[in-house]
Amino acid sequence: MNSIEICGLTKRFGSMTAVDHLDLRVKEGECLALLGMNGAGKTTVIRMLSCQLCPTEGDALILGNSIRETPARVKELVALSPQETAVAPNLTVRENLELIAGICGAGKKEAAEQTEELLQRLSLQEAEKKRAGKLSGGWQRRLSIAMALIQQPKVLFLDEPTLGLDVLARRELWNVVKELKGKVTILLTTHYLEEAVALCDRIAVMNRGRLKALGTAEELMERTGCRTFEDAFAQLAAEEGKT
Amino acid sequence: MRIRIFGLRTAKEILRDPMSLIFGLGFPLILLGLLTLIQKNIPVSLFEAAHLTPGITAFGLSFLCLFTATLVAKDRSGSLIARLRATPMRSIDFFLGYLLPLLPVALLQMGVTYLAAMLLGLEPTLHILPAILAQLPLAVFHLSCGILCGCLMDERQVGGICGALLTNLSAWLSGAWFDLKLVGGALERIAFLLPFANATEAGREILAGSTVSEKPLLICCLWAFAMLILAAIACKRLTSVR
């Protein structure tokens, strides 16, 4: 079964077309990377799928629910970890998690239990009483992902989740994503190609709002005749015209 | 439920920010203390506590606009609003979650100022509570203005508009430290078209136990209502699907 079905999704801002008739299907439990140069339309896709932007044309179904017709239902199924860390700076780590759990409908006791579980799962216990604004970038990023996970989403959007992290912090977050694979459908945007290869089942390459290629890293290398994925990506991302 | 949870977070963000305490509580108290000290050393009655305190509370409320605007602008730039827009939060949850928890903060700010004024010589009377309540429309005006500015501007712009322009407008046009009627002319006319001087006037009349004119209260309520509507529209535009 498909978790995400995107049909002709288009977004225009004035005369600029950010996403151009995108068609894409993501299977339940699959981790799909959305790659592209800056301005390719990756974040706009995520903003539409998380019901923050209304498509100009087309539609997408999240577990059968239209982002146009039933955004309230879609919002109960998805969670977003934006490019920025998106935390409440004067709240502690624990309070940030309880805030999101509460907003998503958990009672006080339930929110506390979910928070406890997430603190352990993402090794955040030692920072739980620290204010989020005082944490380092790596800790804030980890908290940001925990805040998305506490929503218990069926579909998780990770917009450049490891941006600005050091190698070790990035590896830790990779482990979290690997653990989620199969249980949660993940749509991930990144500029780190090795991240897409290491984590994702399939990779979609976008260029100027259009889908240029879709497949596993091996398939994309084979298709372009390149020996490395970086070369394959560079070739696909630079190509003109529609695939 | 969501309004309460988000509102609690708003209150924590504001009250845990040291700048809120320094400017929101500290600055009005310092002004009150300084002007009371000046009054003790001059022969004319210029800064009597009963006259001065409603003006200081009216002026102090302008800092709430700055705090609210900064919080909303930070939530936008830090993408917290983007994260929350992908949750079941509705526009009304955002709007009331920003507005409602800061009304008790406004009451606290005015209460502390009156308490300090009593320590400095203001006669404790039963009129103090209604005098505080009479300025609640001005608090709604400032909080709504803060939400509006935070929805439309970035942190730097908010600092300029709410931190410099609005606090100065409030300082000069509230009649807190000089008699606007004595100045007269255009300044007086403009001041009494705006809510600041009217809130001061209403507070003074109630505190003095004299007959309360309806006009100052009505003008404050109209400004508060207009700003509330504008802020609600801006918040809806910011937080709904575009």
Instruction: Give me the mean pLDDT over the B12-36 stretch.
Output: 87
Q: Between A54, A82, A87, which is nearest B82 by CB?
A: A82
Q: How confident is the model at residue B84 (pLDDT cuts 50, 70, 90)?
A: very high
Residue B85: pLDDT above 60? yes
User: What is the predicted pLDDT for the residue at A165?
Assistant: 79
State how far the Cα of A190 lies from the Cα of A232, in Å rounded to an integer.
16
List residues of chain A with CB under 8 Å from any CB of chain B: 47, 50-54, 71-72, 75-76, 78-91, 95, 99-100, 102-105, 131, 147-148, 151, 157
With CB atoms and an 8 Å threshold, state whether B87 touches A147.
no
Residues of chain A positioned with their CB less than 8 A from the CB of B82: 47, 52, 80, 82, 84, 86
Q: In the prediction, which pLDDT does A242 show?
A: 42
List of chain A residues with pLDDT < 70? 239-243
CA B19 to chain centre: 15
> How far apart, in Å, do the first and last CA atoms of chain A sit?
25
Say if CB B175 and CB B56 are below 8 A apart.
Answer: no
Question: A65 near A108, Cβ under 8 Å?
Answer: no
A148 contact residues in B (CB cutoff 8 A): 83
**Nearest CA distance, A5 vs chain B (angstrom):** 18
- Quote the minimal CA–CA distance from A121 to chain B in Å: 21
Mean pLDDT over the full length of chain A: 92
Contact B86 A75 (CB under 8 A): yes
Q: pLDDT tens across B145-170, in order?
A: 999 999 999 999 998 888 888 988 99
Ramachandran angles phi, psi of B10, nearest 5°: -60, -45
Residue with tokens 């009150």: B32
Q: For chain B, which residues make up each domain, given as ranges? A: 2-240
DSSP-assigned letters across all residues of B5-43: HHHHHHHHHHHT-HHIIIIIIIHHHHHHHHHHHHHHTSS
- Size of chain A in residues: 243
Percent above pLDDT 70 for chain B: 100
How is residue B6 written in tokens?
């988000």
pLDDT of residue A240: 58
Angstroms from A147 CA to nearest CA on chain B: 9
- The per-residue pLDDT for range A179-225, each reduced to its tens digit, is 899 999 999 999 999 999 999 999 999 999 999 999 999 999 999 99
Both tokens of B172, joined, read 């000069």
pLDDT number for residue A232: 92
Contacts 24+ apart (CB under 8 A), B110-118: B110/B57, B110/B60, B110/B61, B110/B135, B110/B139, B112/B25, B112/B29, B113/B28, B113/B29, B113/B32, B113/B53, B113/B56, B113/B57, B113/B60, B114/B53, B114/B57, B116/B29, B116/B32, B116/B33, B117/B32, B117/B49, B117/B52, B117/B53, B117/B56
pLDDT given at position A176: 87
